[in-house]
Structure 1
Amino acid sequence: MDYLSAIQLGFATALQWDNLLFCLVGVALGTVVGLLPGIGALSTISMLLPLTFYMEPTTAIIMLAGVFYGAQYGGSIASILLNIPGTATNAITCLDGYPLAKQGRAGVALAVTTLSSFVGGSFAILVLMLLGPLLAEVALAFGAPEYTAIMVFGLIAASTLSGGSMLKGLAMVVAGVALGSVGIDMNTGVQRFQFGMPELSDGLSIVALAMGLFGVAEILVNLMRSDGSPFKVHEVTLRSLIPTRKDVKESTMPTVRGTLIGTVLGVLPGTGATIASFMAYATEKRVSRTPGIFGKGAMAGIAAPEASNNAAVQSAFIPTLSLGIPGDAVMAVMLGALMIHGIAPGPGLVNQHPELFWGLIASFWIGNVILLVLNLPFIGLFVRILKIPYDALYVAMLFFICVGVFSIQNSVFDIFVVIAFGIVGVFMILGGYPAAPLLLGFILGPMIEENMRRALLISRGSFEVFVSTPVSATFIVLSVLTLIATAGLPLLRRGIRKATSDVTVENEG
């Protein structure tokens, strides 16, 4: 089947009234669950899975996929307005989105993230249509050494995600890696750092960790520092939603770079949208001529990660559908939904079920357009959340956080984890320790351990395996250079200032 016939089949399938209806239901529901902190796409898709038993396979997967990428749009709303990431992939958006909201520019920030998300998702869909089989083959060629090197580079970059001391950033990365090691050792089955608590057998919940550090901590700090009054924001009109030329200029190239990063990382199994958004933010901070504005309301700080996470979510379907390799937990649930209907994901999916594969891709285009139409007109309504008094707003947010965390595993223990990390997060904020590197260390730590041990088993304990291929060697070198540049540049600047001051003193003498 040629591309033109495949695309025609895809849109003919996606535009059937039942598929179109459930695409709308999926993206609308995804936006809502993304907006509500602590719920997220994973728990929602899991809860909807029994409902798909009575649907056609194509209809079911279109709806579940709509929830997944719709949650990325909704998650940015909570991140910008309340500094609470609706999903883990939107955690990095808090760093610059929330300051923009406090400056009275919440409407523009939401408009920029919506447009960036649309661009990122649309480009990834195009890549999925044109280069899916080729990119899947490339991803299949990546082995344990390559994944280890890429993730080590991600951890090094994570230490500079937030402003302030690099040592504090590295300390948070190490703390995140340590927290990620809690639970059962995948190789030996031995319990690690359980401390006699069976609830820790499966490790700490990433949702509980993210909600505690970013949600509860920020709520408590704001309550400590404020008098309970709402933000003073202007009425949001259609004109106020339109970005200025400066905003467009500052967000265009970050959107492009974030889209490319998200598309590439989304294809690689085991990376996903969260890592893509962090990497996009770190990249923008590196290439920026004014890195000091990040964390204070930089447009690049919201455009790049939002374009990246949406692109990653769309391109993550490439290894899932063509190889049967889920990139994350949500993709694993998607695989389960297909297998329930007797469909085996893999290289034969495109030929055996072309209406499902191309219908799903066409539904992505339709779903992204629906999200654009849904989000922009309601931005004014979302901004009005800022007018709600703190006392009412944050009590409601704490309630939704606890309900969302509890609903994932029906565990009261996770609620206590959220509270504990909320208290820890307060001390981190007061002490100037960034939470974003800790979160990325928590995500990447277990992946690095798994792939490193696998690579060492293959090489019989030789560390040369990590520089044995061009890809892994390149990322190892980049990691070393990043460390040298990050640690050396401040010392170089300090030396230049000292030398300049000595010369000045000599001249005055």
Structure 2
Amino acid sequence: MDFYIHALISVMAPGPMIAMIGATLLGVLIGALPGLNPVMAIALLLPLTYSMDPLIALAMVAGIYNGSMYGGAIPAILLRIPGTPASIATTFDGFPMAERGEASKALKIACWSSAIGGIASAIALMTMGPLLARMTLSFGPAEYFWIAVFGMASVGVMVGSDAVKGIMAAVLGLLIGTMGIDNLSGQARFTFGQPWMLGGLDLVVVLVGLYALPPVLQLAEKCDLKGLSAAQLKLTKSRFEKGEVRGFIPTWLRASGIGIVVGILPGAGGNIAAFLSYNATKNASNEPESFGKGNPLGVAAAECGNNADNAASMIPAMSLGIPGNVVAALVLSALTIHGLQPGPQLFHQNPTLIGGFMMEMLITSVLIFALGGALATRVFAQFQRLPGVLLVPAILVLMCVGVYVINGRIVDVWIMLGAGLAGYFLEKVNVPLAPVILGMILGPLAEQSIRRALLISRGDASELFTRPLSATLALMTLLIIVWPALKAMRRGRFGNI
């Protein structure tokens, strides 16, 4: 308990509080603008955190993450355009509610549900994260090797519709992660004689390129010359009827549980949590035929489920070093920037900082109650009147400036642009980008761990399989890899994997 008391005192200081309030508002705005997303915003933010206090930097990450996940519901409800991938399920009942004049009510339900899901997720992180970290203190190099391989395999298989493409993307990230000086031997690898390659490709530079540039290029493709009219965004006030809120409680409890479980699974994501929560609520309803026609419970389930994924995805990231989703990978990058090594030791290296980040995830979820509803319905919805052609050059300038200030090298800008173009074409052929980043993060961990394990065992590779934890993790990795093949064989289409 003292751990969280000290953390709460730290985050209640003026700096972190201002950062949380400002970032939450910015996050809602980012989610409300179709074409922008939390991954893109946090990727742009990371280069600016080098000179910040770590607690303030993480406060901004938490605010943008939670705020944008709710903000995505605004265009989903008003325009049937998901502001984020996780808000796709919100369109099913949110837009029909808006069509019959209940847009404000739908937005209020989305706001409350997002906040409740985020609060439940933050509580799960605060309780389960330290417990899992204590369990993993007994891990050795062999276990860390299998954890890294399991993380890459699970994300490669579970993200996207094609397991082979996902694993290929993870291998690509693994190859990129080998560039630079080998930490154990001191040998230069894949540097092509370039001195600036000795440190390898900067993870943040590649992140900004892969995740920020493709959405900008897609926004440019649409060539949106004029935004929405004021008449399309006209909203009226609404109130809940007596006892109506009580009817949402079972849906919120169910969706929060589903979202937390999905968040812990590497590679799943808020969109899966939203769909599962929506379907579970529909199946539990006495009137399933009303879903898709403007049932408020559908909005509540989708928004609560996708926000309950937020902090829960940080549980494996902070405890094991395996990001539950792309934003968790960005948080790990932010921690690395400030000299912290993700994994079980993280809770012992700087408990105040990690506890503070957990509290920030909780507080920013609460802020959605206070800030999201009033501002979303009256202010942020109006930003959708901005034409896309104004957003594209502004975001490109921010990207180039942000990447340049990391190391003060123009070559980083070219790397970012190259990574962005690669990400754009990879998305065109349905190759997921998340495994590439996971390969860059977990690849060096896997390589160093297996080499340390072999040094300790004097070259005896059986040590990787004979320890109980290692054998269990190896079996889990094998099951993750062969599962798509087994599923395809059962459906009689093995050749189409």
Give the Cα–Cα distance (whole angstroms) in 2 for the partners of residues 176 and 411 of structure 1.
23
Report what 2:21 is aligned to. 28
Does 2:433 align with 1:435? Answer: yes
Aligned-residue Cα RMSD (Å) equals 5.1
Q: Aligned match of 1:404 in 387, 402, 405?
A: 402
Q: Aligned match of 1:474 in 465, 472, 475?
A: 472
Letter in structure 1 aligned against 2:456? I
Q: Deviations over 1:36-90 (max 9, x none)?
A: 73666654443234xxxxxxxxxxx7656534533433564798899xxxxxxxx
Distance 1:24 1:456, change over 3 A: same
Letter in structure 2 aligned against 1:442? M
Does 2:161 align with 1:164? Answer: yes
Give the Cα–Cα distance (whole angstroms) in 2 for the partners of residues 111 and 406 of structure 1.
39
Shift of 1:179: 1.3
Q: Deviations over 1:252-281 (max 9, x none)?
A: 65643553676xx7xxxxxxxxxx763556
Unaligned ranges ≥5, structure 1: 50-60, 83-92, 266-275, 291-296, 321-326, 337-344, 497-509
Alignment of 1:68-467 (within 5 A): 68-74=61-67, 76=69, 95-97=85-87, 113-126=114-127, 132=130, 135-226=132-223, 228-230=225-227, 234-235=233-234, 255-256=256-257, 258-259=259-260, 278=267, 307-311=308-312, 328=332, 330-331=334-335, 368-370=365-367, 372-380=369-377, 381-467=379-465
Does 2:50 align with 1:46? Answer: yes
Give the Cα–Cα distance (whole angstroms) in 1 for the partners of residues 71 and 408 of structure 2.
23
SS in 1 for 2:124: helix
Q: Deviations over 1:116-168 (max 9, x none)?
A: 3332123323457xxx4x65532321222222212212222222344333222
Distance 1:490 1:429, change over 3 A: same
Mean Cα deviation higher: 247-256 or 192-201: 247-256
Distance 1:139 1:9, change over 3 A: same
Give the Cα–Cα distance (whole angstroms) in 2 for the partners of residues 155 and 426 of structure 1.
21
Report what 1:37 is aligned to. 41
Give the Cα–Cα distance (whole angstroms) in 1 for the partners of residues 435 and 472 of structure 2.
23
CA contact 2:273–2:305 (8 Å) conserved in 1? yes
Give % identity. 23
Letter in structure 2 aligned against 1:409? N
Q: Deviations over 1:170-215 (max 9, x none)?
A: 2111111111222221111222212233332222233332332232
CA contact 1:151–1:444 (8 Å) conserved in 2? yes
Letter in structure 2 aligned against 1:190? Q
Give the Cα–Cα distance (whole angstroms) in 1 for the partners of residues 402 and 49 of structure 2.
13
Report what 1:502 is aligned to. none
CA contact 1:212–1:420 (8 Å) conserved in 2? yes
Distance 1:333 1:158, change over 3 A: closer
Shift of 1:334: 6.0
Letter in structure 2 aligned against 1:69? A
Give the Cα–Cα distance (whole angstroms) in 1 for the partners of residues 218 and 357 of structure 2.
44
CA contact 2:116–2:365 (8 Å) conserved in 1? no
SS in 1 for 2:50: helix
Distance 1:489 1:37, change over 3 A: same
Give the Cα–Cα distance (whole angstroms) in 2 for the partners of residues 8 and 215 of structure 1.
34
TM-score (norm 1): 0.66
Give the Cα–Cα distance (whole angstroms) in 2 for the partners of residues 150 and 426 of structure 1.
30
Shift of 1:223: 2.6
Q: Aligned match of 2:488 in 487, 490, 505?
A: 490
SS in 1 for 2:492: helix
Give the Cα–Cα distance (whole angstroms) in 2 for the partners of residues 73 and 407 of structure 1.
27
CA contact 1:230–1:390 (8 Å) conserved in 2? yes
SS in 2 for 1:433: coil
Distance 1:306 1:201, change over 3 A: farther
Distance 1:212 1:109, change over 3 A: farther
Shift of 1:486: 0.4
Shift of 1:443: 2.1
Shift of 1:30: 4.3
Give the Cα–Cα distance (whole angstroms) in 1 for the partners of residues 430 and 476 of structure 2.
27
CA contact 1:174–1:438 (8 Å) conserved in 2? yes
Distance 1:453 1:289, change over 3 A: farther
CA contact 1:14–1:363 (8 Å) conserved in 2? no
